[in-house]
Amino acid sequence: MNLLYRVYVCVQCSLLFCGSALCQNWIGSDSFDGLALNLSNWSTSEEVAYDGEINFAKLSGVLSFQSSSTLPRVGYVKWKRSLPNNEAWTVYVKTLFNPAYFTGNNTAQFVEAVLSVFPTGQDPSQKYFSVSEGIKWSVNSNATYIGSECYGASSGNGYYWNWISNNNMYLKIVYNPQNKTLKAFYTADTGSGGPSNSDNWFQSIKTADVSSWSATSFEVAIGGYSEGKAVAGGIINLDDFVVVSRPVLQMSSVPSPFFTGIETWAFLSLSSHRYLPVYLEYSPNLTEGSWISAGAVFPDSTGSISVTLKSLGDKVADWKKGLFFRVRNP
C-alpha cells in the first residue's frame, strides 16, 4: 500500500483508524491567541539574541518579531518537540506584514519572516532549510518577495528568491522520509479565512536532499530577520503555526447515499487539519484497485470539509453496505 495513505473511515461505523504517527506528541499547532507565548510549545532559549536587541512580543493574537538594531539581526523561537526522520510531516505558518514599513528609497533595508528546519544536535547555522517572506524597497515602493535557503545538504543548497504580490502568505515545508527530502512551498492568504482554494494551492519553490545530514530527528523554528532598520512590534508577525504528520480525517456525520436516476450521490461531512489540503479517495471495500478519486479537498478555518460523491449507476445498496475513505497529502 502507498505509504502516504494512513487513514480509513467506514461509513457504517464512522470510526477513525490511524497509524501510530498520528498519535505522536510532536504534532500540534499554535494560533498565538493567549496573552503570552505558550512556553509549553516554544523554547525561547533558541532565540539568536544580540545584547537584548532581538525580542518577540505577543500582539493581538500574533507573534511579532522585534529588533532594536539597524545591523543584520535574526531571531527564532523553536518548537519544543523534535520531528522524526522516519515519518512524513508537514509544517506551516502564516506571515503578516505591515506594508508601510519602509518610507524611503533605501534598498539596503529589508525584513523577513522565516520558517526553518534543521537537524537535531547539529549546528543550525551550518545545516538548515528555510522558506521566508520578505519586504524591501524596490523602485518607488515596498515590494514583497519569497525565498528559500538551504545549507549543508546533499543537493539543493543555496538561496532562491522571487518577487510576489501579496503581503500575507502561508509558508510550508514538507519532509519525505522515503527519499530524505525537504520541500518549500508558499501560497497567498486570501484574507477570507485561509489560502486560495485551487489546484495550485501551494507553489513549490525549492527541494533539497538532506540525506547527508544523517539526522536522527529534526527541529523546527519560526522567527524573523532584519537589516538596515530597527523593527518595532507589529511589522513582522507570525500566526497559525501547524505541524502535522500524515493527514488526519474524522467523520462529522454518516452520509446517506441516494440514486438520482443517473448517478449515486452522497453528501459527506468530514474534518481534518484546517487549511491543509488533502486528496480524498473512497471505495466500497479495501481492495487496492477499487479506490475512486474525489479530488483535492480543502478544509476551512475550522477544519471542516464538505464533499459530494458521485458515481454513475445505482450504487446505493453497495455504498450502504460499507464505504471507506482515505486521504494523502498533495
In tens digits, what is the pLDDT along the chain, a chain of 330 residues?
Answer: 232 333 344 443 333 333 333 346 788 889 898 888 888 999 877 555 555 677 888 888 899 998 888 888 888 999 999 999 998 888 989 998 876 665 556 667 788 999 999 999 888 888 999 999 988 866 666 778 899 999 999 999 999 888 887 777 889 999 999 999 999 988 875 544 444 444 345 778 899 999 999 999 999 999 998 888 888 888 889 998 988 876 667 777 778 899 999 999 988 888 776 666 677 888 877 776 778 888 777 777 677 888 888 889 999 988 888 788 777 655
C-alpha cell at 66: 522585534
Rounded to two decimals, what is the model's pTM? 0.75
Length of the chain: 330
Supply the pLDDT for residue 301.
Answer: 67
Supply the pLDDT for residue 219.
Answer: 95
Give the integer Cα–Cα distance in Å for 164 and 98.
Answer: 15
CA-to-CA dists, residue 109 to 8, 55, 103, 131, 140, angstroms: 50, 19, 10, 19, 14
DSSP 153-218: SSB--EEEEEEES-SSEEEEEEEETTTTEEEEEEEEB-SSSSB--STTSSEEEEEEE-GGG--SEE
C-alpha cell at 236: 513582522
The answer to whether 96 and 168 are in contact (CB under 8 A) is yes
Supply the pLDDT for residue 101.
Answer: 65
Supply the pLDDT for residue 173.
Answer: 93
Residue ranges of domains in the chain, CATH in brackets:
20-244 (2.60.120.200), 250-328 (2.60.40)
Supply the pLDDT for residue 157.
Answer: 93
Supply the pLDDT for residue 113.
Answer: 92
